[in-house]
Amino acid sequence: MIMKTCLVFLSILIHGVLHLQASHVTINQDLQSILQPSSPNPTYRTAYHFQPPKNWMNDPNGPMIYKGIYHLFYQYNPDGPSFGKIVWAHSTSKDLVNWTPHPPALSPSQPSTDSGSCWSGSATIISGQTPAILYTGLNQQQQQVQALAVPKNLSDPHLLEWIKSSHNPLMAPTSQNQINGSSFRDPSTAWLGHDLKWRMVVGSKRNRRGLAILYKSKDFIHWTKSQHPLHSGKDSGMWECPDFYPVKIDGKDGLDTSTPVGTGIRHVLKISLDETRHDLYSIGRYNARKDSYAPEHEIVDNGRGLRYDYGKFYASKTFYDSVKRRRILWGWINESLPIVDYVKQGWSGLQAIPRSVWLDKSGKQLVQWPIHEIEMLRTNKISMTNKVLKEGSKIKISKITAAQADIEVSFEVMGLEKAEKFDPKWRDAELLCNRKQSWTRGGLGPFGIMALASMNLEEFTAVYFTIFKFGEEHGKYVVLMCSDQTKSSLNVRTDKTNYGAFLDVNPVHDQLSLRSLIDHSIVESFGGGGKVCITSRVYPSLAIKEAAHLYVFNNGASPVRISKMKAWSMKKGVIN
């Protein structure tokens, strides 16, 4: 039944194909013509994070695996380093680390659909073998509409050519469906229901209520808007880039989006809040009969939900890796420079390291960890065990390339009685990180690493933990994880926000683990085995290349023990 639907779907799509034509216009054209360099400034470019050679990049789009080849499409302005007329750039990989570029998969060409831009969307693998892309087009009326494209040649594992459906646009705002034409974008990966109808959601809003609008289709072409959204949230603003997928209650294996709903499954709804540029998610139950979703724990509706990453990380997208049976997460790391500065450097934006994602044993949050393939770039390993960090001390990590490194360290807490009492009013972790900065002498902490540090510590980005006692109960503690950018650069024009989150570990029984991927202008950190992730985008003035250093430190009043530490220099990936 599914195969028959797939074949009918393909025959309808290919009939009446419109050929792609490159047509690009750049906004901020005067600014770019004055400031844009003849060649991109390489000073802060990364060595193993995904980015194009030059120009603007934002959202990851339609990641998938097809015939053993990984595909990443992404929002790209071919004409300059600021946002403009966007195409779907395309690269492929055999290992998610080294990438080969290809011509854009989608470029503006259909006046009624995408003459303004080809904006974000997702890929669905139909019947396990046929890729289809749903994406948002910006039409001649500046309306956001949804469109479809499929590969021209299914025997080509690199999928170099894509054809757009002559039925485009498939979904458009009208007065009858009460959809706001300026807030209707980013279709999700589709899933097949019990009734053999496809379902997917599109991000939107009505007034201040964020919406995940649900659509259904028998043939992937003719879509009907459901009476009720899959989920919505009051006073949250526009919901961008919705992602909806199942996770197993037990184990790390990923699941295909169309996995039937069962007792051993929960669902994740992720939304990107346009107003805050945060990616929030909740874990809940999907009622397949009623097509409704109900969060079980944290609520995404008003911005207080769980986040994939508490730093620079937005417009994320997951896909199911059917070969290695895992769910993989991509996310855009946007700039911390003003627009004038990143236009001058000739490039903007990059992608975080792909992460494996699974449900924590508690069932209350997700766990994320860098894909294991990134470890192929490790070299020059150094290690340390059972080393006490006295109060107010630091140790330099030598014999590695500190600007291009991977470090894993586990801390054993000593002297829990020294922990400062936690004030119940401290509900905002980021504000607390601003209050308890890395150089502030505390009770139990701050302790962690100082990355991209200059010789005399005029500059550094600190990633650290601080532990607090919770009330008068014995054995109750709160663990705060922070990424302090206050002294990350002497450049006063960069964003120096301090990021933070509360980490769900018990320091009485558990060691505090930290892993950081350091890549010239990126410090991507994973606390508690991936329960909290924080990505910092920094631009040091002194701590560049060979002048960058790496330290472990303890500024608390009680010593901590480094039970084990491993660090590596990282080789450069072959990227585009």
Q: Which of 59, 279, 309, 484 is catalytic?
A: 59
Q: Would you state the pLDDT for residue 29? A: 59
Q: Hey, what amino acid is at 60?
A: P
Q: Return the ∠ at Cα 14 (arms to 241 and 198), rounded to 5°.
A: 40
Q: Shortest CA distance to 83 belongs to which of 119, 46, 47, 114?
A: 119
Q: Would you state the pLDDT for residue 176? A: 86
* Beta carbons of 411 and 562 less than 8 angstroms apart: yes
Indicate the pTM of the whole model: 0.93
Q: Would you state the pLDDT for residue 338? A: 92
Please state the separation of Cα 337 from the chain's center in Å: 19
Rg (CA), the chain: 24
Q: Would you state the pLDDT for residue 2? A: 38
The predicted-structure confidence for 466-520, as pLDDT tens digits, reads as follows: 999 987 666 799 999 999 999 999 999 999 999 999 999 999 988 899 999 999 9
Q: Shortest CA distance to 86 belongs to which of 56, 109, 117, 53?
A: 117
In CATH terms, the fold of domain 382-570 is Jelly Rolls (2.60.120)
* Beta carbons of 159 and 131 less than 8 angstroms apart: yes
Q: Would you state the pLDDT for residue 549? A: 98
* Beta carbons of 242 and 271 less than 8 angstroms apart: yes
Domain residue extents for the chain: 2-39+56-370, 382-570
DSSP one-letter string for 483-525:
EE-TTS-S-TTS--PPEEEEE---TTTS-EEEEEEEESSEEEE
Q: How far apart are CA 49 and CA 374, in angstroms?
A: 10
The distance in angstroms from the start CA to the end CA of the chain is 40
* Beta carbons of 109 and 164 less than 8 angstroms apart: yes
Q: Would you state the pLDDT for residue 468? A: 96
Largest CA distance in the chain: 74
DSSP one-letter string for 295-318:
ESSS--TTS-SEES-SSS-EEEEE
Q: Does the annotation mark 95 as catalytic?
A: no
- Low-confidence spans in the chain with pLDDT less than 50: 1-27
Q: Would you state the pLDDT for residue 472? A: 66
In the 3-class helix/strand/coil scheme, how is 120-187 assigned residue by residue?
EEEEEEECCCEEEEEEEEECCCCCEEEEEEEECCCCCCCCCCEEECCCCCCECCCCCCCCCCCCEECC
Q: Would you state the pLDDT for residue 473? A: 65
H or E segment and range at residue 9: helix 2-14
Q: Would you state the pLDDT for residue 7? A: 36
Rounded to the nearest 5°, which phi and psi values hold at 221? Answer: -120, -50
Q: How far apart are CA 159 and CA 70, in angstroms?
A: 11
Look at the block and give the residue holding tokens 């990021």: 499
CATH of domain 2-39+56-370: 2.115.10.20
Cβ-Cβ contacts under 8 Å for 206 (sequence gap 6 or more): 178, 180
